[in-house]
Structure 1
Amino acid sequence: MGGVGFLYEGKTKIVEAIDDDSVILTFKDDITAGDGAKHDVMQKKGQMCSEITSRLMHYLNTKGVYTMFMNYVPPNKIRARKLKMIPLEVIVRFKKAGSFVRRYGGQEGEDLQSPLVEFTYKSDVMHDPLMCIEHLEVLGIVDRNTALKVIESAKESAKLLKEFFEIHNFELWDIKFEYGTDSEGNICLGDEISPDTMRLRKAGEIFDKDIYRRDLGNPMEKYEVVLGVCQSILL
């Protein structure tokens, strides 16, 4: 069978092809920040992030969003569609936070007038620089039509997840997505959806990787709470 075997190991995941059309993502217990400058290993992180990702992507699938998710393989693996990943991080912001505040000012948690989508180029060495659609076209990353499809999918996915978490009295401040194309060239949501890739707050408390970035305690305690919320989504 063609295309079977190890494909890639990143900071938090290992990707292995199991056939021509699907892969296994193994979620590691590693947690990083600052483009990998800060790095620790935390017990059960891979297990929690893989299950959270599975349930949230399954939820999006049921709402008509095309994601990589095929099935959850406990304790820390996902069987997923094999994608050719686009080297972009696609960030949807509902509130001002993090790098947005550092670049443009304002207060953490301040509402934006409407959801904002930002593209950054995936490069730890270059510290994920911001890109506009013209950058994507000129550098041959994706064409304008593909970029607009990604924006549409990202906004819809973020809206659906925001609504899901609001039911449980959480606020989704922002979220980072990654996209790829399947064997037929269709745009597909890939990678991961977990507290590693979003800002999630409840009554002033942080339930995401900002706990680790800011040395505010053990982030796994809050990740476990998020997992409990996501377990309301049946697989």
Structure 2
Amino acid sequence: MLLHSLGLDKRMWDPIAGRLAVGRRVFAYDLRGHGTAAGSPRPFTLRDSAADLIAVLDELALDTAHVVGLSYGGAIAQVAAIESPGRIASLALLATTDRAFPEVFERRAAGAEADGMAAQVDETLSRWFTPAALAARTPGVRYARDCLLAMQPADWAAAWRSMKELDAQGKLRDFAGPVLVVAGGADASGPTAVLRELADGIAGATFRELPGVPHMQTLERPELTAAALDEFLPRE
């Protein structure tokens, strides 16, 4: 089960979904306030979004799933594993965090409410991609830009405010399933030190750093991201 980043939608996983689907069933869906789920009731919490994940598993008649989350999706995956550990077979946490940065998150929320989404695009893309990708206007950059411009400011703000309550530090120390934590060596938004500390806080977690990879791992270096996940995730 693949959980996308804040501001994007399930298509974020398209560059790697085919490889992951060899020998596995792969699912992705749009999180609250994103894509086809735009305009979901607001406000909402991370616990609400984690409950949505469990509801998706129920709808698919899946007792458990291997959950992969990038950035915001990784935060939701952690909360789901804390709230419903028996439903999560393993966790792959990409470019994410286990703690809130309330002032930063509120500034991003309030900025969209005051100035609209167009004013958020350049600063956001600079956190997500390398300068080379931005200069080349790669397909990943164009897709991300389009998603941001299409997003409702109220949905963006609600998602960032839900992140202000993230508090997973130490709460997954004894999580029973395998855990993979993946940092991007060129990630300006989720520095390697933060991801390494996250991994160190979970007993038995495996830490990987992908050299030269920015925050949007699947959109700029999908081959490295897919390889790391392919090695970690079991096949049926």
> One fold, TM greater than 0.5?
no
Relative contact order higher in (CA < 8 Å, ≥ 6 apart): 2
TM-score (norm 2): 0.28
- Structure that is richer in helix per residue: 2
TM-score (norm 1): 0.28
